[in-house]
Chains A and B, each alone.
Chain A
């Protein structure tokens, strides 16, 4: 399991390739990449700043990853999240789950994202055409997390 919280950009393709490079027992890799959009809730978005809670962020992500590893037979699990200033088109988050067969990887990847969305202490502030604004939490994210209970 690998948890990375970083200001630096990353290459999602390289992350996917690394998921199985060290283990030929991996038969399935499912990955999710979240990107900054240039439009949200009716306004153009020129960029955003990702605030987080240093210390808690890493612990919260590790806790989610450990729970995923307890639920599914994973061979590798990676969670990578950007912080700081980001521009439209840039990857924000990467979750990669590797397993022998596909279903565990599919489910674990979705689970980690659903829990990350509701439990990891990140907050997005968008620079929009009408000034800066904090992104509001969505009820649909909570509903998505609740389905794993």
Chain B
């Protein structure tokens, strides 16, 4: 299956781009994170303060993922 992965703010700077299309079987957001974080280029995704969203809603790492989903990883938010 194919999913779209987005990075924001410091994470986008760390990996060098804002988005990427991933092919593979991912049961959860955590599976997506692990698949990426095995590559040193995505080491920033190992930060314990990482936040994530699925289809534009905050979620936990055990959130299930389906084909066509948009999964986003980002550092703690700092608005307001």
**Is the Cβ of A51 less than 8 Å from the Cβ of B75?**
no
| Range class of the A interface residue count | 20 to 34
The answer, yes or no, to whether B48 is at the interface (CB within 8 Å) is: no
Min Cβ gap B69→A in Å is 13
Tell me how many residue pairs across A and B have CB atoms closer than 8 Å.
74
A136, B49: Cα distance in complex, Å: 10
**Is the Cβ of A134 less than 8 Å from the Cβ of B79?**
no
| A contacts with B: majority SS | mixed
A117, B79: Cα distance in complex, Å: 6
- Please name the 7 residue pairs, one residue from A and one from B, whose CB atoms are nearest each other, closest first: A122-B79, A137-B76, A123-B9, A56-B56, A135-B78, A134-B10, A117-B80
B-binding residues in A (CB < 8 A): 34, 50-53, 55-56, 59-60, 63, 81, 92-93, 113, 116-125, 134-137
